[in-house]
Amino acid sequence: MQNIFFKNLEKNRKRKAKITDTHITLAHGSGGKAMRDLIDDIFISTFNNHTLSQLEDQAKLDLSKLIKFGDKLAFTTDSYVVDPLFFPGSNIGELAINGTVNDLAVGGAKPLYLTCSVILEEGLSIETLREVAQSMQIAAQKANVQIVTGDTKVVQRGAVDKLFINTTGIGIIRPHICISASNIKPGDAIIINGEIGNHGTAILIARGELALESDIKSDCQPLNELVARILDVCPEIHAIRDATRGGLATVLNEFALTSNVGIRLEEESIPIREEVKGVCEILGLEPFYLANEGKLVIAVEKENASKVLSAMKSHPAGKNAAIIGEVTDSPQGIVSLKTSFGAERIIDMLVGEQLPRIC
């Protein structure tokens, strides 16, 4: 009888649990059975890979498999606190994956592995968490990366706003790739892969604070395949940066300050939807500062610009790519814009925050 009891107990212990709660409780962060059931049901079953399912305190990665992709390790981390959790075109889970993938990609790395740490507020809907996790897995598969380790914490009501996510990423940079803002030189062309401001506008409208209706969706997308295609045709790219918080203006000011150069933009060349312009005019916002989650900015020697642009346009994430300006030797550290009226004005670094909790 005792043997039967222990065999049944062993069988039950090994069986993957299905969580029966409808909302997060403090017990889900206690380290006990409730937490194990949550992790098994929401994360292990969704992310579904051998490394994660070992449930060790760390992910063990085979170095021999990593070095075949290149000779340098790229390592990044980011946290996501966007409000609301779901917005037109995406959600916090997809945003967390794509944001970290893109931070690796713009350094020339092939993203391979991610971590996922979540801070959950007591009372969060289990179904909301499940939907976010599923979105993360879909995004990871699309970007060809694996989520291999993570952490779960639960805090009492009011200590956080529903759900915060931290993701860390590891990637490998192929040999002879050296992408840095310090490489930028006068004469370089400035290229962007598409329309600016869509993410910031989508978040603003999703918050429901304004009586505005629009079909604008976030541009949240992975950019690693686009970057790989660019590097295939031009390994000598000088600089790449993804234009997230602070938008296009912030990236270009960082470029100008780092390399002690000037940057001159052509307003009519910058891709931007009329709806985004309209929202900015109504609210007194500057579209060049609006956040993006699927846009990158490139500095490349002018003689290579046309082939880079063609490569970008051949990929769905770069179909609206455009050359939007050039690097000048002066005035150093200044980004200027030639307007559609023929005037010229300075596009300075963003001071403060146009829209908080945008990513």
Confidence of residue 212 (pLDDT cuts 50, 70, 90): confident
Q: Quick check: is 3 in a domain?
A: no
The dihedral sign for the CA sequence 193, 194, 197, 202:
negative
Which amino acid appears at position 75 of this protein?
F
pLDDT (0 to 100) of residue 353: 66
Q: How many independent structural domains does the chain possess?
A: 2
pLDDT band at 10 (very low <50, low <70, confident <90, very high): low
User: Is 198 found in the same domain as 168?
Assistant: no
Model pLDDT for residues 269-320, shown as the tens digit of each residue: 999 999 999 999 988 889 999 999 999 999 999 999 999 999 999 999 999 9
Using alpha carbons, select from 116, 110, 112 the residue that is nearest to residue 95. 116
pLDDT, residue 342, reads: 87
The last residue of one of the domains, among 173, 201, 220, is 173
Q: Domain for residue 356, yes or no?
A: no
Let me know if residue 266 belongs to a domain.
yes
> Are 146 and 200 within one domain?
no
223 shares its domain with 164: no
For every residue of 169-214, DSSP letters joined together read EEEEEPTT----GGG--TT-EEEE-S-SSHHHHHHHHHTT-S----
Q: What average pLDDT is seen over the chain?
A: 93
Q: Are residues 139 and 238 in the same domain?
A: no
User: Do 104 and 236 lie in a common domain?
Assistant: no
What b-and-e string marks burial along 226-256, b requiring 16 or more CB atoms within 10 Å of the CB? bbbbbbeebeebbbbbbbbbbbbbbbbbbbb
56 found inside a domain: yes
Tell me the per-residue pLDDT of 337-349, one tens digit each, with 9 for 90 and over. 999 888 999 999 8
Distance between CA atoms of residues 235 and 259, nearest Å: 20
Range of the domain at 212: 181-346
- CATH number of domain containing 274: 3.90.650.10
Structure tokens at 169: 């990423």
For residue 98, how many C-alpha atoms fall within 13 Å in the half-sphere facing its CB? 29
pLDDT digits (tens, 9 = 90+) for 24-51: 999 999 999 999 999 999 999 999 999 9
For residues 63 and 328, give the distance between their C-alpha atoms in angstroms, rounded to a whole number: 43
In the prediction, which pLDDT does 340 show? 86
Both 329 and 185 in one domain: the answer is yes
Based on the domain organization, do 169 and 185 belong to the same domain?
Answer: no
163-173 and 72-80: which strand pairing?
Answer: antiparallel
Q: Identify the three-state secondary structure at position 113.
A: strand
Mean of pLDDT values over 83-104: 97
Which tens digits make up the pLDDT trace of 154-182? 999 999 999 999 999 999 999 999 999 99
Q: Give me the torsion for CA of 296, 288, 93, 85, rounded to 10°.
A: -170
Per-residue pLDDT, averaged over 8-20, amounts to 62
Task: Give the angle subtended at the CA of 45 by the CAs of 74 and 110, to the nearest 5°.
Answer: 20
> Which pTM was predicted?
0.94
Structure tokens at 120: 């959950």
